[in-house]
A and B are shown apart, each in its own frame.
Chain A
Amino acid sequence: AQTVTQSQPEMSVQEAETVTLSCTYDTSENNYYLFWYKQPPSRQMILVIRQEAYKQQNATENRFSVNFQKAAKSFSLKISDSQLGDTAMYFCAFMTETSGSRLTFGEGTQLTVNP
């Protein structure tokens, strides 16, 4: 079975500081795609960043970057210079080539950025 684990149900960070959200996953496949989605209080589901497993270089999007460790099946999200608008639930998700395009999500990490 393919699973995603987010071991931190809640985290908090001071504005302008850096925070890292952890995610581990389990799959026997070699080719897959990893995602972080953000769900703010409005409950929209917004793509934050995407990583292809075949790429060695970690993905970055402005203040958001990932630390992808394929051997360890780890995919953490680093948020630099945290802003109040980053307060949200963050979901890690992945998709494999044989999963029929379905995304498997973790349970989420609620991040609160404090002023």
Chain B
Amino acid sequence: GAGVSQSPRYKVTKRGQDVALRCDPISGHVSLYWYRQALGQGPEFLTYFNYEAQQDKSGLPNDRFSAERPEGSISTLTIQRTEQRDSAMYRCASSLVGRQETQYFGPGTRLLVL
């Protein structure tokens, strides 16, 4: 089907607000990943799921960040009490099975915290 989609594409918020970023993976893809990319740098891993199970959340920077994938399809990355340092591009990717499979990325959500 279609590629990975993310919404919103752009989000401007004020410091202290909560934001929720959505990812819709490629149909049939079991694994879903979240990365964060600062300007001029490569993406950094945040967390990933197989089906609805969160397999690794070691890349989440602190407890203000959380992610869920309750039905094994769409995922939401939530940032509570946003700070200016959270401003970045947040990218979602999906793959077929997980290990060793190629990850296909969505267009990203650009988050700006004022």
Query: Given A45-B91, A105-B43, A108-B42, are A33 and B100 neighbors across the interface (CB < 8 Å)?
Result: yes
| Count, chain B residues at interface, CB 8 A | 27
The interface stretch among B15-23, B60-68, B101-109 is B101-109
Contact A43 B33 (CB under 8 A): no
| Count of residues in A whose CB is under 8 Å from the partner chain | 25
Q: Which residues of A contact B33 (CB under 8 A)?
A: 101-103
Query: Does the CB pair B42–A102 fall under 8 Å?
Result: no
A97 and B42 contacting across the interface, CB-CB below 8 Å: no
- Residues of chain B touching chain A, judged by Cβ–Cβ distance below 8 Å, are 31, 33, 35, 40-45, 48, 55-56, 59, 89, 91, 93, 95, 98-105, 107-108
Residues of A near any B CB (own CB < 8 A) = 4, 33, 35, 37, 42-47, 50, 52, 91, 93, 95, 97, 100-108
